Chain A
Amino acid sequence: MSERHHLERQGEGGLYETLSRSNLVTTKGWYAAAGVLFALTAAAVGVFLYMMATGLGVTGLSRPVMWGTMIILFVFWIGLSHSGTLISAILRITQAGWRAPVLRGAEAMTVFALMVGGLFPLMHLGRNWRFYYMIPYPNERMLWPNFRSPLLWDMVAISTYLTGSILFLYFGMIPDLAAARDHATGWRKKLYTFLAAGFRGSHSEWRRYHVASTLFAVLIIPVAVSVHSIVSWDFAMAMVPGWHSTIFAPYFVAGAIYSGIAGVITVMAFLRRVFRLEHFLTVRHFDNLGKLLLTMTLIWGYFYFSEFLTTWYSRLPEDWELISSYGTHYLPLFLVMLTCNFLIPLPALCLSKVRRSIPAMFAVSLVVNVGMFAERALIVVPSLARRNDPSVWLGYFPTWVEISYIVGSVSMFALLYVLFSKLLPVMAISDIKEHLFRTTDRSIGAATVPSVAQEEEGEGE
């Protein structure tokens, strides 16, 4: 054969071993990481139980700042969750050639960030043991939730998104679970046999599988957009200066995609390093993700400026007091946001040298998410701290309880990821295989370039 495809060069057995290294060997390092993360998460859970037993007085909240770190964390994690599924779905639908190694990691990021983020609105309740009052089911309390409250929309949207993302993650994993089933032994074999649900890879199965995956991707995109819009409406529906704005929904969606792409880059850099996937997650992926991140930097900056300009120009007294506080009391936060979200990433990501350096991309992605955390804090806190009535104005600073939630949420996310990488295929093995299968070396003159075969749209139906 003259044109050997890239898959043969790799050898499928070897490919599986490389890609699922995380499942095969459990190193001491894994136990150490999982142990530390578990301890940190458990500590945060302990702090939460303490707060539950004593009262929300242990937080830094007050009147008028009734929402604080827990809501910031909620918006932050939901925002971070945003991109994984969205990117994966968009890349699948547009059949971006470089998508395969990014898919699984991004989808899993969505699910775990949602799981973490979804906890905070429940934790922040004054009587969090009564959270089920919000669920519409017939009950003896004669109590029914108020669907006119944006919090109810939130609950409906987030549960839809979480369910959808888990299904999307699982469905995308089925062929990989089938591969894992045929390689594994012992309890893993039982687990994978159950999860793979008898997927074989017959021709008709593959055809139907692709139709269903596309359908999932098509359905999950509008859900993802709606979720962050609704999170923004929690704020925009309230008549609070700085919150009550029509731009909030698209602005939040853009911000969410921005922080989400940065999150994907962070996770990819970790996976690449820890599971030695240098061969699959190449500089090219980071370069492409970097370009996406650059686009989002610009879009975010554009949205922020247009929101700012309206207030700046009209100087309505209530809004103006809020904006002025960015220049005084909240100046550090404002500067952190501006620097980390715009002034650093914009020039850095313009340079291909930065985009093509993985440590640099890792650093930029972290910086962006620090900036996005500051941005969320700047949305939630100053608007409340500078309410309409100046006689109640007050500052806010998180207490040790809330700071331990910040640490706990990061470690819980990481813990879920660490457990996931041990249990389930962390790379989209069959997507990578398919990509390699369709890639051949083509000679153009004296040069040899990889060429990917793809059906014309509609022909594969």
Chain B
Amino acid sequence: MKHKWAMVIDMDRCTGCGACVVACVAENNTPTAGEEEAGKGRLMQWLRVSRFWKKEGEDTRAIFVPTPCMHCEKAPCEIVCPVYATYHDEDDQVNAMVYNRCIGTRYCANNCPYSVRVFNWWNHQWEKPLDEQLNPDLSVRSRGVMEKCTYCIQRIRRGKETALKEGRKIRDGEVVPACAQTCPPGAILFGDLLDPDSAVSRMVKDPRLFKLMEHLGTEPKTAYLKKQKGPGR
């Protein structure tokens, strides 16, 4: 059963609260780098909320861009890996990352125009009792490998297995990544583009839709809905 998972982020709804980041950290066993390391640009979070300032007349407004992996269909990170540690999963049409293969050339991170890939600079430790809350569905990455947003592949797999066991197709909204599940205003929407009735399939027809750095030809599957102008916004 083939899928084409995609994410649509509604900038109109995003408040920049950062709950998605926290959810992602909790779900994906992302280590916390600490203040000093974060200052050196070594945050391990798979999802960052970039903040840009925009002048609108008298006011300066913040624009928040939650940036997870774009899961590009023409992902520049994949082609440069010498050991196939990152490749295109044909069943789920996601950009997969195999930690055990990775030798840490960091070429993929250089070639990612969105800079969403993070590298394990250290062997990260989880102090007690934090280690108790590690997610058993996925591994804890060792030092020297790249990692990045997987669209919560463990949840996708779980959903597919359940559907297979029950002998049915996967339902729209059955698989929800941690960020989408947590987002208080519901700005993040996730689903299968091959399912014509799914919510994402409807959303990608929205005229507000845009993709980050579309001119690079990476064909990202994470898309954004533009902020609307007007009263009350």
Direct contact of A and B (CB under 8 A): yes
Chain A interface residues (CB < 8 Å from chain B): 54-57, 60-67, 121, 124-128, 130-131, 133-134, 143-146, 148-152, 155, 234, 237-240, 384, 387-392, 394
28 contacts between A and B (CB under 8 A): A55-B122, A55-B144, A56-B144, A57-B37, A57-B42, A63-B118, A64-B109, A66-B106, A66-B109, A125-B104, A126-B102, A126-B106, A127-B142, A127-B143, A133-B83, A134-B83, A143-B83, A146-B82, A149-B79, A149-B82, A151-B82, A151-B105, A151-B107, A238-B110, A388-B115, A388-B216, A390-B52, A391-B48
Tell whether, in the assembled complex, residue A145 and residue B121 are in contact, meaning their CB atoms are under 8 Å apart: no
Chain A nearest CB from B40 CB (Å) reads 5
A83-B18 Cα distance, complex, nearest whole Å: 54
Given A63-B115, A152-B82, decide whether A134 and B107 contact each other with a Cβ distance below 8 A.
no
Residues of B within 8 A of A151 (CB): 80, 82, 105, 107
Tell whether, in the assembled complex, residue B83 and residue A146 are in contact, meaning their CB atoms are under 8 Å apart: yes
Tell whether, in the assembled complex, residue B145 and residue A149 are in contact, meaning their CB atoms are under 8 Å apart: no
Tell whether, in the assembled complex, residue B121 and residue A146 are in contact, meaning their CB atoms are under 8 Å apart: no
Beyond A133-B82, A150-B80, 8 extra complex contacts between A and B, CB < 8 Å? A56-B119, A56-B143, A124-B106, A126-B105, A127-B143, A134-B82, A134-B103, A238-B76
Tell whether, in the assembled complex, residue A125 and residue B76 are in contact, meaning their CB atoms are under 8 Å apart: no
By beta carbon, the residue of chain B nearest A66 is B106
By beta carbon, the residue of chain B nearest A383 is B110
Residues of B within 8 A of A60 (CB): 40
Q: Any chain A CB within 8 A of the CB of B213?
A: yes
Tell whether, in the assembled complex, residue A389 and residue B50 are in contact, meaning their CB atoms are under 8 Å apart: yes
Q: Any chain A CB within 8 A of the CB of B81?
A: yes
Tell whether, in the assembled complex, residue A391 and residue B41 are in contact, meaning their CB atoms are under 8 Å apart: no
Given A55-B144, A56-B121, A63-B42, decide whether A239 and B79 contact each other with a Cβ distance below 8 A.
no
Residues of A within 8 A of B119 (CB): 56, 61, 63, 66, 126
Interface 0/1 of B137-151, CB less than 8 Å to A: 000001111100000
Tell whether, in the assembled complex, residue A143 and residue B84 are in contact, meaning their CB atoms are under 8 Å apart: yes
A237-B52 Cα distance, complex, nearest whole Å: 30
A81-B65 Cα distance, complex, nearest whole Å: 46
Tell whether, in the assembled complex, residue B122 and residue A133 are in contact, meaning their CB atoms are under 8 Å apart: no
Query: For A55, A67, A143, which residue has the most chain B Cβ atoms within 10 angstroms?
Result: A55
Q: Please pick, from B42, B103, B107, B120, the residue contacting A238 in the complex, using a CB distance under 8 A.
A: B107
By beta carbon, the residue of chain A nearest B109 is A66
Residues of B within 8 A of A62 (CB): 40-42
Tell whether, in the assembled complex, residue B41 and residue A126 are in contact, meaning their CB atoms are under 8 Å apart: no
Residues of B within 8 A of A143 (CB): 83-84, 101
Given A63-B109, A151-B107, decide whether A54 and B122 contact each other with a Cβ distance below 8 A.
yes
Interface 0/1 of B115-128, CB less than 8 Å to A: 10111111100000
Tell whether, in the assembled complex, residue A127 and residue B83 are in contact, meaning their CB atoms are under 8 Å apart: no
By beta carbon, the residue of chain A nearest B52 is A391
9 cross-chain pairs, A with B, having the tightest CB-CB distances, nearest first: A126-B104, A126-B144, A62-B41, A391-B50, A57-B121, A127-B144, A66-B106, A149-B82, A151-B82
Chain B nearest CB from A121 CB (Å) reads 8
Given A55-B123, A384-B110, A389-B115, decide whether A238 and B104 contact each other with a Cβ distance below 8 A.
no
A148-B86 Cα distance, complex, nearest whole Å: 13
Given A66-B109, A125-B104, A388-B213, decide whether A146 and B41 contact each other with a Cβ distance below 8 A.
no
Residues of B within 8 A of A61 (CB): 106, 119, 121
Tell whether, in the assembled complex, residue A239 and residue B111 are in contact, meaning their CB atoms are under 8 Å apart: yes
Chain B nearest CB from A148 CB (Å) reads 5
A392-B118 Cα distance, complex, nearest whole Å: 12
Given A126-B144, A239-B111, decide whether A67 and B121 contact each other with a Cβ distance below 8 A.
no
Q: Any chain A CB within 8 A of the CB of B113?
A: yes
Q: Any chain A CB within 8 A of the CB of B67?
A: yes
Q: Any chain A CB within 8 A of the CB of B61?
A: no
Given A146-B82, A149-B82, A394-B41, decide whether A67 and B106 contact each other with a Cβ distance below 8 A.
yes
Residues of B within 8 A of A238 (CB): 76, 80, 107, 110-111
Chain A nearest CB from B108 CB (Å) reads 9
Residues of B within 8 A of A124 (CB): 105-106
Residues of A within 8 A of B213 (CB): 388
Tell whether, in the assembled complex, residue A145 and residue B145 are in contact, meaning their CB atoms are under 8 Å apart: no
Q: Please pick, from A54, A127, A389, the residue contacting B103 in the complex, using a CB distance under 8 A.
A: A127
Chain B nearest CB from A397 CB (Å) reads 10
By beta carbon, the residue of chain A nearest B51 is A391
Tell whether, in the assembled complex, residue B83 and residue A145 are in contact, meaning their CB atoms are under 8 Å apart: yes
Interface 0/1 of B30-51, CB less than 8 Å to A: 0000000100111100001011
A17-B130 Cα distance, complex, nearest whole Å: 73
Residues of A within 8 A of B40 (CB): 60, 62, 394
Tell whether, in the assembled complex, residue A389 and residue B79 are in contact, meaning their CB atoms are under 8 Å apart: no
Residues of B within 8 A of A145 (CB): 82-84
A131-B113 Cα distance, complex, nearest whole Å: 26
A150-B52 Cα distance, complex, nearest whole Å: 34
Given A63-B115, A384-B110, A394-B41, decide whether A144 and B216 contact each other with a Cβ distance below 8 A.
no
Given A126-B145, A127-B144, A143-B84, decide whether A389 and B76 contact each other with a Cβ distance below 8 A.
no
Chain A nearest CB from B61 CB (Å) reads 16
Query: For B65, B82, B118, which residue has the most chain A Cβ atoms within 10 angstroms?
Result: B82
